[in-house]
Amino acid sequence: MLRAPDPAAERIHDLSEKLGDRAKELADLYQRCDGISLPDVGGGCFLHPAAAILNGMRNGEVVRLAAEQPGHVVVFGSDGRGGRLALRVSSGEVLYLAPGTVRLGIYESPTRPRLVAKSVADLLDHLIGDLRAAVSGDPNHDYLM
């Protein structure tokens, strides 16, 4: 399910401002929709509403990876099982963070973050492929999550 853009334009502006130029693709996505919910595609994938991303940034959600300096990230989605999707702000890459500990906004896990997409656009392409495979019942498809 694709959610309509957030009617509160200030949230989109706040998100764009906080993300900056390096995360423009993510901000652009939220100009067009306010998250995506695909609970029955693969293991499930959820791109959170802009308000949830902003709340997370203010209230202790992951903002940095313990293994990287400075390694700033923005969590914008999840798999519904404790894993997170995060944008690496320095490169625009999308990472999957396995369930782990978050202390003072720093993510720690024995499992290294996994690169799932080179960009937000690449992530969306993967999700479209996952959706097509789910609809067609392709038993050989390798789902993103």
Residues 46-64: pLDDT tens digits? 999 988 888 888 887 878 8
CA atoms within 13 A on the CB side of 68: 14
Give the C-alpha distances (Å, rounded to integers) separating 53 from 30, 74, 75. Answer: 11, 8, 7
Write down the pTM of the prediction: 0.85
User: What structural domains and CATH numbers belong to the chain?
Assistant: 9-136 (3.40.1580.10)
Please give the pLDDT value at position 47: 96
- With contact defined as beta carbons under 8 Å apart, do 40 and 134 qualify? yes
Closest CA to 51 of 112, 10, 102: 10
| Cα gap 74→54, rounded to integer Å | 9
